[in-house]
Amino acid sequence: MKRLAGRRALVTGAGQGIGRAIALAFAREGADVGIAELDEKKAEDTAEAVRALGRKSPLCVGDVGVREDCERAVATTANLLGGLDILVNAAAWAQVGTPIADTPDDLYRRTFDVCMTSVFWTSRAAYPHLKQSEHASVINFASNAGTEGMAGNAVYAAAKEAIRGFSRSLAREWGRDGIRVNMIRPIAASPSLAGWIEENPKLAAMQAKAIPLGRFGDCDTDVAPVAVFLASDESQYLTAVTLPVDGGGGQER
């Protein structure tokens, strides 16, 4: 029996990186997976890959920084799959290198809307469906930028740390409904990090060496399996925790 057999999931930011890796890992474990993604081509590619694994994959092209798009993604997935058991908020966005004093209001709002407020919008919309499930799991994403701070990326850091407070509160409120809420804090070679590594090979090598396991994580082989664990019954007594999937590289455990 596959670990997620018959379950219904929605993954935001599923067009690339961690989101795509999780969507495919869920499909391999027997879940049908709704795809929420801004880039239409990337969304279609992931949905086709899920379907090639024999699973259903509703497609929701839209902007998670817009409330209506978040609500539409949840409604479309739940309606087409007959319910919702798993919600993964993997979508994120950041503009690195902007000092706090130079950060305009629109950049602040956009960063928070995509990274944090989208989690609020999707979670609120998903709640009526999740509380009907016997295997309800919400998986959100924290960041070392938030737990440790990051110069030139303060708004993203704040949004990511806000997700942790929000998620712990959700876990307390929704535990009585059997809904578990957990977080992953990864260090992984997502497309954005991979681009930075290519542009800064020497600095990247130094940073990878500083990680106890000596490398940046892989979206498919290091991060996605942890999401499968959190979505499965193997973690049925685990909620309100942040799992540092970082090779030991994060300072706060």
Q: What is the pLDDT of residues 34-67, one digit of tens each?
A: 999 999 999 999 999 999 999 999 999 999 999 9
pLDDT computed for residue 195 by the predictor: 73
Q: Residue 124: inside a domain, yes or no?
A: yes
Q: Residue 141: inside a domain, yes or no?
A: yes
Q: Residue 116: inside a domain, yes or no?
A: yes
Model confidence, pTM: 0.95
List all residues 6 or more positions away from 122 whose beta carbon is below 8 Å from its beta carbon.
Answer: 10, 12, 64, 70, 71, 73, 74, 87, 89
Q: Residue 109: inside a domain, yes or no?
A: yes
* Separation CA 51–CA 34 (nearest Å): 11
Q: Residue 199: inside a domain, yes or no?
A: no
Residues lower than pLDDT 70 in the chain: 146, 196, 251-253
Host domain of residue 33: 8-187+227-242
Annotated active-site positions, please? 156
pLDDT computed for residue 19 by the predictor: 98
Say how many domains are in the chain.
Answer: 1
pLDDT computed for residue 235 by the predictor: 98
Q: Residue 1: inside a domain, yes or no?
A: no
Q: Residue 55: inside a domain, yes or no?
A: yes
Query: Domain containing 165 — which CATH number?
Result: 3.40.50.720
pLDDT computed for residue 26 by the predictor: 99
pLDDT computed for residue 72 by the predictor: 98
pLDDT computed for residue 208 by the predictor: 86
pLDDT computed for residue 150 by the predictor: 79
